[in-house]
Amino acid sequence: MDYLLQLVDQFGYVAMFLFSWIVFIGLPIPNEMAAAFAGYLSEWRNFDPTTSFLFMYSGLISYGAFGFLLGKRFGTRLLQRLFKGRRKEGLIKKSREWMERYGLFAISISYFIPGVRLVMPYIAGTGKDITFVRFIIYATPSAGVWALVYFQIGRYFPKSFQSIVYEISSKAGLFAIFIFSCSLVYYVIFIVKKKAPIMKRKKLRYRK
């Protein structure tokens, strides 16, 4: 955390953009903690909350976009080089299984799962049927929800946000299932509403 403070003292709001790239550059600081820390700073270091959140959120999205484009360009070879080790190889395997099971919704769910969030953009980039636009459509809403949750934890619980973040992260799987269920219900309702006028027109034509 001291290193994050040094970044803020040196770069200000730009440091909050860089928080999302912390793990990529090799520092063992969870994204959740960095996001909450941005919220903490907006409350205790006189940074504007809206500006702080936007910088942090744009960093999160840019990291995902960067990972997707690298996966699209270099494929699985880059994954094997970037994510070495038994644990990281397990994350790659898990991410692929999620893509096969949930399709594009796996991109949305991944933001709520520690570790998988870092690997999923590369996995999505290696998919032949996944375009950059589709990745952004499925990534940005869930990334926004994830970022806002941890950002607000840092703002409203400045003295205990670290312990809260660890507690939430340990139950991230249940949270992801909840988010996926809500998304699935919303998707079904959206499809039903979209098809309802078409079905009515068909019935009217049939009666005539």
Average pLDDT of each block of 10 consecutive residues along the chain (208 residues)? 76 84 65 84 84 91 91 76 65 78 83 81 85 92 88 85 74 60 63 57 50
- Residue from 57, 36, 46 nearest 12 by CA: 46
> How many domains, the chain?
1
Buried b (16+ CB within 10 A) or exposed e, 137-159: ebbbebbeebbebbbbbbbebee
Dist CA 177 CA 154 (whole Å):
24
Q: Which domain holds residue 32?
A: 2-207
For 116, residues 6+ apart whose C-beta sits below 8 A from its C-beta are 91, 94, 95, 98, 110
- Residue from 63, 69, 60 nearest 133 by CA: 69
Q: How far is CA 53 from CA 146, 166, 168, in A?
A: 12, 21, 20
* pLDDT, position 126: 84
Amino acid at 111: Y
Q: What are phi and psi of 23, to 5 degrees?
A: -65, -35
Dist CA 80 CA 142 (whole Å):
27
* pLDDT, position 40: 87
* pLDDT, position 137: 92
Q: How far is CA 153 from CA 27, 50, 67, in A?
A: 22, 15, 27
Q: What are phi and psi of 177, to 5 degrees?
A: -65, -40
* pLDDT, position 132: 93
